Structure 1
Amino acid sequence: MKLGLERRKRISGLLFISPWLVGFAAFLVYPLIKSLYMSFREIQAVADLQMTFVGWDNYSKAILKDTQFIPFFYKAIQDAIVEIPLILVFSFFIATLLNQETVGRMFFRGAFFLPVLIGSGFVMQQLLGQGIGGLDAVKDPTEMMREGVANGLAVPEAIAMYLPNDLVKTLSDIMGRLTIIFWKTGIQILLFLAGLQGISDSLYESAKCDGATPWEMFWKITFPLMTPLLLLNGIFTLVDSFTDMRNNVMRYIQKVAFTDIEFGYAAALGWIYFVFVFLLIVLIFTLTRKSVFYAGDR
């Protein structure tokens, strides 16, 4: 039987991505199903993973009885609310500067992307002032940052004495996060830069002929065309913030699983966390659906 051109293309495409599909099923789908199965059980023997069914007990324990999970959860949300807008604004600003014809532009592009290459593992632990300590010491990442490379970043006393205490606290908190923000913007800058370079120069030339100012061109041309990348970077930054191993919730789940050896309870904590992040992403897509401009849409 002869296959049509479209069917042959589909088969070729499926064959091309088949290694990824196998890896996706083996290393993501199966662990997810297994963790969901474990979240309703309690481990009895570690050697052969003997478990007993406990129903929703693990979930009720996480929400009603655990005195650490909810505070860590709330702190993770609080950190994300502060850091995500700062990361997006800073990376968009830097990408706009790096898109200009300036001396040393390639050097600065590499410099801002360098933290992506070295900003993990032992190097990042030392920069954050964490040492080589184990994950059993669940600490506040912001406090560790202030103890490490961000020491000294605070509102000067000469200025703080004239400002309200709440404002000083907010400014100090933002300044204490600056180093984290600098280290988390490499990929966002790269994506924004690619988007800016994809905007046709003819649009700006036509706007100049019509007498538009740079400010008007930004809001009428640049910003609308960058909204898809703003959404993409927003989702990426959100997921990166909630899954970072410096996140207290992630560290606590790992502690419960591999230090306390409570795999079932740790799985339940992970699923509560996953469902929250998933619903948050769905909410963002729903709220921004009409605000994102795609140039190919009619």
Structure 2
Amino acid sequence: MTGKKLSLERKKMLAGYVYIAPWAIGFALFMLYPLIYSLWLAFHEVVGVGNFDLEPVGWGNFNKAFVLDTQFIPLFISVVQDAVINTPLILVFSLFIAILLNHKIRGRAFFRAAFFLPVLIGSGLAMQQLLYAGVGKDTLVNGIGVPEEVFLYMGPTFSQIVFDMLSRLTVIFWKTGVQILLFLAGLQGISLSLYESARCDGATEWEMFWKITLPLISPIILLNLVYTCVDSFTDINNRMMVYIKDTAFTKIEMGYASGMGWIYFLFIFLLLIIVFASTRRLVVYTGEK
């Protein structure tokens, strides 16, 4: 009995399952139960911390977030505004730097490492120690090279605008390491023969960018868009994440914190669905039939 040979599409599908299998197993073992329990906890309130006794409150925690809590809605809107502004700026800047680093220039390896260094410093314990040591927004902005005396001559309104712009630039510089590497991988995957053929037809660099580069790296743009959104909403310095954590472990309102967490999670989930739906026709997959 001769078995059927696997088609190329089926082999790619199986390879994809193999790659995601470690994540799926880890999620099922370590994340699935806490996720379900947090949803259960969102409809209860902890009345006895020692014994962790729960009292059903129905939709009370969700009602408290939208109606009673005066901090949740303004904080939520502020976090969304920051993400909406920072995400396109990060994508444009990282794509620009990736295009520059993709050319043969002196010190290319050094600049790649320099842009990726904040990813290593800003993760986990290292970033926490820097924050505890007082390396906050003020220190980072002053590190750009603007003396404090300059702000005194600008006036309170204009100096606040400049300070906010420099703070946002600091965030953009700090958050582009992974995106630059992904864009570099996408750019290096484009065949040079496409550019050579376009030059023979008289195409300019600007035309090749819009007709070749941008369409072929559109899957990487979508990947970076999703990554940047998730990274922005779940960052260690995100004020909503800090507020949820303080509510759970400082105020010991774990049920209410779970409710806010699920509201936050559902918003991010719906946002990603909108992103995928709105960009479905714009993304070019070269392997499609």
Confirm or deny a common fold (TM above 0.5): yes
Measured after TM superposition, the shift of residue 170 of structure 1 is 5.5
Measured after TM superposition, the shift of residue 226 of structure 1 is 1.2
Change in 2 beyond 3 A, CA 1:17/1:91: closer
Measure the CA separation in 1 of the matches of 2:164 and 2:203.
Answer: 39
Measure the CA separation in 1 of the matches of 2:15 and 2:191.
Answer: 34
Q: Aligned match of 2:76 in 73, 76, 96?
A: 73
Measure the CA separation in 2 of the matches of 1:287 and 1:150.
Answer: 36
8 Å CA contact retained: 1:44, 1:51: yes
Unmatched 5+ stretches in structure 1: 134-143
1:101 aligned partner: 104
What SS does structure 1 have at the residue aligned with 2:285?
Answer: coil
Structure 1 length-normalised TM: 0.84
1:54 aligned partner: 57
Percent of counterpart pairs with the same letter? 55
Measured after TM superposition, the shift of residue 26 of structure 1 is 2.3
Q: Aligned match of 1:240 in 231, 235, 243?
A: 231
Measure the CA separation in 1 of the matches of 2:198 and 2:126.
Answer: 47
What SS does structure 1 have at the residue aligned with 2:266?
Answer: helix
Q: Aligned match of 1:111 in 109, 114, 127?
A: 114
Query: Amino acid of the residue matched to residue 268 of structure 2?
Result: V
Q: Aligned match of 1:92 in 75, 90, 95?
A: 95
Q: Deviations over 1:45-88 (max 9, x none)?
A: 12222101100000000111111111111110111111111111
1:168-179 counterparts in 2 under 5 A?
172-179=163-170
2:171 aligned partner: 180
Equivalent residues, number: 280
2:29 aligned partner: 26
What SS does structure 2 have at the residue aligned with 1:100?
Answer: coil
Structure 2 length-normalised TM: 0.86
Measure the CA separation in 2 of the matches of 1:86 and 1:145.
Answer: 21
Superposition RMSD on alpha carbons, in Å? 3.0
1:113-132 counterparts in 2 under 5 A?
113-125=116-128, 127=130, 130-131=131-132
Change in 2 beyond 3 A, CA 1:15/1:72: closer
Q: Deviations over 1:247-272 (max 9, x none)?
A: 00000000011111111111000000
Measured after TM superposition, the shift of residue 290 of structure 1 is 0.9
2:218 aligned partner: 227
Unmatched 5+ stretches in structure 2: none
What SS does structure 2 have at the residue aligned with 1:268?
Answer: helix
Measured after TM superposition, the shift of residue 18 of structure 1 is 5.7
